[in-house]
Amino acid sequence: MAKRVVPNILITGTPGVGKSTISRLLADRTKFTWREVSKMAEEYNCLDEYDPEYQCPFLNEDKLLDIMEGMMAKGGNIVDYHGCDFFPERWFDGVFVIRTNNTVLYDRLTARGYTGKKLEDNIQCEIFETLLEEAQSSYKEEIVTALQNDSQEQLQSNIETIVEWIERWKEESI
């Protein structure tokens, strides 16, 4: 992959932590392209059979990656998804794992209609730092940053942190 002049960023974390809100606000601010993987999977027919236990379809990762490959080459992408270990390491210059307090997460997920096993598993995923560990084991340690996102103030701070990171990356990559 040719050297990029603007970075690609992965925003990941448990469902309900605020990935999409951060990604949308960041895309508005930076003019980067927001790649909502869940929506792309629907749009490009990358969903396989339905999982009744979790009430969602399975993602055809290989098909999605083939589609995204060309999109990622020039940089300027914000990829938003709750998983991260299947994306090629070469795609990302920064990986931001969004975290939230379990009580806040519970309230957000129940407001979305999550119940039963799906609710419990997502809360446990956050408690056990599953996505943070996944990111740390999938990407170089120096590009992975965890950001707490419990309040409007933290949301704004997280946007500033990522924008500042982008500016530093651009300066260092010249």
109 with 123: CB under 8 angstroms? Answer: yes
Residue 76 labeled ligand binder? no
Six-digit token string for 138: 């999938």
Other beta carbons within 10 angstroms of residue 83's beta carbon come to 15
Residue 24 labeled ligand binder? no
Residue 21 labeled ligand binder? yes
Residue 20 labeled ligand binder? yes
Residue 16 labeled ligand binder? yes
Rg (CA), the chain: 16
d(CA 16, CA 46): 22
Residue 13 labeled ligand binder? no
Binding residue positions for ATP: 16, 18-21, 112
Binding residue positions: 16, 18-21, 112
